[in-house]
Amino acid sequence: MAPGSLKVKMKMKKGCRRLSIAGFFLLALTALAGLAYVCQDFIVFQPNAVPLDDEMAKVPHENVYIYTKDGVKLNLILLPYTEGDSPAPTTILYFHGNAGSIYGRVFNALQMLVKLKANVVLVEYRGFGKSEGTPSEEGLYRDAEASLDFVMTRPDLNYTKVVLFGRSLGGAVAVRLASVNPQRVAAIIVENTFLSIPHMAATLFPFLPMRLLPLWYYKNQFLSYQQVAQCHMPSLFVSGLSDRLIPPAMMKQLYELSPAKMKRLAAFPGGTHMNTRICPGYFPALEQFIKDMLKSHALEDIGQTSAPSNSSQILN
């Protein structure tokens, strides 16, 4: 065999070997991406049923069951505020995070009832707790719509004073609900939530090329950074600066993207992802926001459309 032919064959073998290795890695990445796509629901949604303990069971509350437009039966818990003289207190529609159930949030809701002097309605997403169905992004949006419909048609709840509250994943649900219901939502409060699921994927897996994946790859997207641009109602962004799960910078970005005339960013240096609510000044910040929101609405009712002078603030 001629020396030239031997060299050509050796180069071809090396080239084939490189192609084989590249093909293997491409196949492995494709398989990994496919597995990740299938597993997305298990990563985003982590439901479990946590029953009320004996003490919480003594709290006056009403278990409510409603149906979504696609026929899924949901469980809500209504904590009515009955202590004040006001005939129509604010109603807080509470959207929890991606894990557990509403039963683990009853104590927090009770704190809101007492400290904010408001009715609180806790929403149990499909597939969580006592609610039927299987969770999905579109499903949670339908659950939120059905819950708002319930509040709007409940005769003992003032439909003009509905405030959406969402923590973590619940913040994304609240933002989306507010964005498509501007006339039915008085205000929103979101706490330690994210810009979108693709943004979170890039944050949690920086060693993988998540930013290169197309948007359609994500079964659940929760594009709050886009939807918040449609939320012109008073908005409070609560950020725990010690949050190790969701970067606090995302909360600041949502605040900056908000077009609301009355908006605030309440930042708590010691606040972690789930425990910002125990930081000093947390409930006073929520209480002051709701008071100013109601004042703003009262001014609008008498023909004055300007918000209070402290309409845009960063609180520390």
Q: Shortest CA distance to 64 belongs to which of 181, 184, 157, 159?
A: 157
- Tokens linked to 265: 């960013």
CA distance 228 to 256: 10
Inter-residue contact 135 to 47 (CB < 8 Å): yes
User: In the β-sheet with 235-240, what is the strand arrangement from edge to edge?
Assistant: 62-67, 73-79, 119-123, 91-95, 162-167, 187-191, 235-240, 263-268, 312-315
How many Cβ atoms are within 10 Å of 195's Cβ, its own excluded? Answer: 23
CA distance 198 to 37: 12
CA distance 72 to 127: 10
Active site residue ranges:
168, 243, 273
Q: String of b and e for 224-240 (b: at least 16 CB within 10 Å)?
A: bbebbeebebbbbbbbb
